[in-house]
């Protein structure tokens, strides 16, 4: 009887001496967690797919800033799909083998790295738009933004290939038992990842947005103080300034939420306790990092009328009509 009970707690009962053990939890708790994470995964993928379709389809949305949102939505969409793999680790058992575990970890690191890089580019975009508005149309063009986005993804792939070289060469080399899927980075690679994926980008983002905030406040005060003596030229500029400030505020919220969700994961790395995070100990910080990808489209829906209009056209299948790409969504 005891042997049967022990077998039911193994990920692979046929491998008594080498199988990982399952985490025994109440059935209700397991089902509730499955349903919750599956729902978040589906909502994340669906909402970000709507963002991707909206910006890709409607020509009015083909702006430099929106192309950055498109890059962010692509990475968030992949995060929604990756959450399905995280769900498999609820009971501590990975049933898809070492190779798929390595691919999952590799893609997850690339997506997070690309997200951080895109956030840096967004901060630069807002900095130029607010602090150097007259030079913005010439300095920030669609072609330049597209090149920057492509370089961001290419650099993320190359960087993570170097960081995860050990497990890419030999998948599962750090697994202590069958059914284990752990996120492992050696000490030197972990320091490099911490510096180039967290400390440097976060420093750049914070510095740029502090500058944007200071300039935005000073511009707002200048507009209010001279509202009665505004010339016709300034009057025509005011809506553009307000639009850029609104975009800066909205994207600022996106950046702050991103930092809140990402910081716990890297704070664990900063403690220097260890670089070995198994599924159970890292579940909260990983899921919090993933959950950020679900929040971004919600922020767009709250602050961007064009996204709400686009969703309506997509859901009602009006985008299938001829010339729908020229629809007025702004």
Q: Tokens at residue 218, please? A: 């000073």
**Per-residue pLDDT, 93:** 82
Asked, for residue 301, whether it belongs to a domain, the answer is: yes
Asked, for residue 182, whether it belongs to a domain, the answer is: yes
Q: What are the residue ranges in the chain where pLDDT is below 50?
A: 1-7, 231-237, 274-276, 278-280
Residues pairing with 183 in the sheet:
277
**Per-residue pLDDT, 151:** 95
Element (H, E) at 184: strand 183-184
Question: Domain range spanning residue 73?
Answer: 39-221+232-320
**Per-residue pLDDT, 180:** 82
Structural domain count of the chain: 1
Q: Report the distance separating Cα 209 and Cα 259, nearest Å.
A: 13
**Per-residue pLDDT, 271:** 59
**Per-residue pLDDT, 150:** 95
**Per-residue pLDDT, 146:** 93
Asked, for residue 11, whether it belongs to a domain, the answer is: no
**Per-residue pLDDT, 3:** 44
What CATH number does the domain containing 253 carry?
1.20.1070.10
Element (H, E) at 109: helix 97-131
Q: Where are the beta strands (DSSP E) in the chain?
A: 183-184, 276-277
Contact 60, 330 (CB under 8 A): yes
Asked, for residue 112, whether it belongs to a domain, the answer is: yes
Asked, for residue 240, whether it belongs to a domain, the answer is: yes
Taking 3-state DSSP, the helix, strand and coil percentages for the chain, each rounded to the nearest 5, stand at: 75, 0, 20
Asked, for residue 134, whether it belongs to a domain, the answer is: yes
Asked, for residue 329, whether it belongs to a domain, the answer is: no
Phi first, then psi: give them for residue 178, nearest 5 degrees.
Answer: -70, 135
């Amino acid at each position: 009887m005891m042997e049967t009970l022990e077998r039911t707690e193994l990920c692979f009962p046929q491998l008594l001496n080498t199988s990982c053990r399952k985490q025994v939890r109440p059935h209700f708790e397991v089902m509730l967690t499955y349903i919750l994470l599956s729902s978040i995964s589906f909502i994340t993928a669906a909402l970000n797919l709507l963002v991707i379709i909206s910006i890709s389809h409607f020509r009015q949305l083909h702006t430099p800033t929106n192309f950055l949102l498109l890059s962010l939505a692509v990475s968030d969409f992949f995060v929604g799909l990756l959450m399905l793999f995280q769900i498999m680790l609820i009971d501590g058992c990975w049933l898809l083998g070492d190779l798929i575990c390595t691919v999952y970890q590799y893609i997850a690191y690339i997506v997070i790295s690309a997200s951080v890089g895109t956030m840096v580019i967004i901060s630069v975009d807002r900095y130029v738009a607010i602090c150097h508005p007259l030079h913005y149309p010439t300095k920030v063009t669609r072609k330049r933004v597209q090149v920057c986005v492509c370089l961001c993804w290419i650099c993320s792939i190359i960087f993570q290939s170097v960081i995860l070289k050990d497990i890419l060469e030999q998948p599962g080399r750090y697994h202590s038992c069958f059914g284990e899927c752990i996120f492992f980075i050696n000490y030197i690679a972990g320091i490099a990842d911490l510096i180039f994926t967290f400390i440097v980008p976060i420093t750049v983002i914070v510095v740029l947005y502090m500058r944007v905030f200071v300039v935005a406040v000073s511009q707002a005060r200048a507009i209010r103080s001279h509202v009665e003596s505004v010339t016709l030229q300034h009057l025509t500029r005011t809506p553009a300034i307000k639009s850029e400030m609104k975009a800066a505020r909205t994207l600022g919220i996106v950046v702050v939420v991103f930092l809140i969700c990402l910081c716990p994961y890297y704070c664990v790395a900063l403690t220097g306790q260890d670089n070995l995070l198994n599924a159970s100990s890292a579940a909260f910080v990983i899921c919090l990092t993933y959950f950020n990808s679900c929040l971004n489209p919600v922020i767009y829906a709250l602050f961007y009328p064009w996204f709400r209009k686009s969703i309506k056209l997509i859901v009602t299948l009006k985008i299938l009509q001829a010339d729908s790409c020229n629809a007025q969504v702004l």
